[in-house]
Amino acid sequence: MDVSTPAGAPWLIVGLGNPGPEYAMNRHNVGFMVADLLAGRIGGKFKRAGKAQAQVLEGRIGPVGPASRRVILAKPMSFMNLSGGPVNALRDFYKVPPANVVAVHDELDIDYGVLRLKLGGGDNGHNGLKSMTKAMGADYHRVRFGIGRPPGRMQVADFVLKDFSSSERKELDYFVDRAADSVECLVTEGLERAQSAYNS
C-alpha cells in the first residue's frame, strides 16, 4: 500500500463522461464505460446520490477478507466540465482523502488503448480533470485511457465527442476490461504495482 493512501479509508473511483444516451459511445465517455464494467464485477447497480448530482454504487474490490477495499464507484451527472462539484461532494460525504480518489478518463496524448496511471499532475486541457482539480486540488490518482489525437484538421472537441470508430470498437471491450483491471490493482496493491503491471 502506498504511504499516500491511508489504510482503512474508502476509495472513490470516478468514471468521467457526459450523461445521456447520445454520448454513451463517445471517446470522452470511456471513464463511464470502465465504471460500468467495475459495477458489473461488483454485482450492483448505480443509484442516484441525493444532492451530489452523481450516480453511485458502494461495494468492495479485491479478494474476500482483509485484503479487500471498500469502494464508492461514481459517475458524475453534471456533464464533464462540471465534474468537480459532484466528486468533491461525494468525497466529503464518504470522508475520502484526496489520495484515495481515482479519476478514469480519456487521454488525447496517448495512443489508443494504452494506459498510464499516476498520482497528481496537471489536467492537460481535460475539462473533467480541470474541474476536479479546481474543486479538490490535484493530489488524486488518474487512470489515463489513451484515445490518440484527432486525424487531419479535426477539432479536439469534435473528436472526443464522436463515437469510437468501427475499427477501434473491435478492441474496445478488451481495453476497457484492462483499464478496469488496472483500477482494481491500484486500489488493492498500490500505484507502483499497478504502474508496473499496466503502464505500457
Active site members? 28
Phi, psi of 113 (to 5 degrees): 85, -10
Quick count: other Cβ atoms within 10 Å of Cβ 164?
19
Distances 1 to 8, 64, 98 between C-alpha atoms, Å: 11, 17, 15
Contacts of 172 (CB under 8 A, 6+ apart): 33, 164
Q: How far is CA 199 from CA 7, 29, 40, in A?
A: 24, 21, 24
The residue whose grid cell reads 461514481 is 74
To which residue does cell 484515495 refer?
Answer: 100
**Count of C-beta atoms within a 10 Å radius of residue 180:** 24
